[in-house]
A and B are shown apart, each in its own frame.
Chain A
Amino acid sequence: DAGITQSPRHKVTETGTPVTLRCHQTENHRYMYWYRQDPGHGLRLIHYSYGVKDTDKGEVSDGYSVSRSKTEDFLLTLESATSSQTSVYFCAISEEAGDLNSPLHFGNGTRLTVT
């Protein structure tokens, strides 16, 4: 299994509080991604990174920011959590992008509940 660790695995927070989710990889892969998974919506891309300090927005980036100061860590921050951000968040990594021999490897997710 690819070495991907997401922390925390579960979190309950109140509306308006800041929250940071961490993704740590031991594979030295260049590309890292944050997705959220919701019933009826499937997996949707929030942000992705194509290198240290190189990030870009996905389709549902509003209310989220990311940082990647080291190859192995990709942080997702909710500056002021809202109930609509209650979801399961998945981090994924890949060695290359658009390479058929370089699939996405996912972490086991963080379940976030905003009350």
Chain B
Amino acid sequence: TQLLEQSPQFLSIQEGENLTVYCNSSSVFSSLQWYRQEPGEGPVLLVTVVTGGEVKKLKRLTFQFGDARKDSSLHITAAQPGDTGLYLCAGEGNSGYALNFGKGTSLLVTP
């Protein structure tokens, strides 16, 4: 199983602060995906990163794929309470059909 380690596990910050969460593996991935999950709901795809060194921006969220395609980061600028949720990274699993997920970073942004 290609393991994905996410850090930190929990993060509690105040509105307006910046933060970065990480997704690391010893395996090379052809791509990585980031999902956000809100309480009582299923995860929703935020972005897919494909090329080593790639940077993608989604409003205040910046995603980066490591040059060696073994790691990825998510940076949030000026966090808002609406950013609260569980952030999950995912990469292809051994079957080739399904994704493996990291354990996630639980983010709480307080006003």
Residues of A within 8 A of B (CB): 4, 31, 33, 35, 40-45, 48, 50, 56, 58-59, 90, 92, 97-98, 100, 103-109
| Total inter-chain residue pairs, C-beta < 8 Å | 61
Q: Judge if B33 is at the interface, Cβ distance under 8 Å.
A: yes
Instruction: Please indicate the chain A residues that have their CB under 8 angstroms from the CB of B50 in the complex.
Output: 100
Asked if A48 meets B98 with Cβ closer than 8 Å, knowing A40-B103, A100-B50, A103-B48, the reply is yes
Asked if A92 meets B42 with Cβ closer than 8 Å, knowing A41-B103, A100-B50, the reply is yes
Measured CA separation A82–B41 after assembly (Å) = 24
Of the A-B pairs whose beta carbons lie under 8 Å apart in the complex, a sample of 20, sorted by A's number, is A41-B103, A42-B88, A42-B101, A44-B101, A45-B100, A48-B97, A48-B98, A56-B95, A97-B96, A97-B98, A98-B96, A98-B97, A100-B50, A103-B33, A104-B43, A104-B99, A105-B45, A108-B41, A109-B41, A109-B42
Task: Name the distance in Å between A103's Cβ and chain B's nearest Cβ.
Answer: 4
- CB-nearest residue of chain A to B104: A42
Q: Which of B67-111 contact A (CB under 8 A)?
A: 88, 90, 92-93, 95-104
Residues of B within 8 A of A (CB): 1, 31, 33, 35, 40-45, 48, 50, 88, 90, 92-93, 95-104
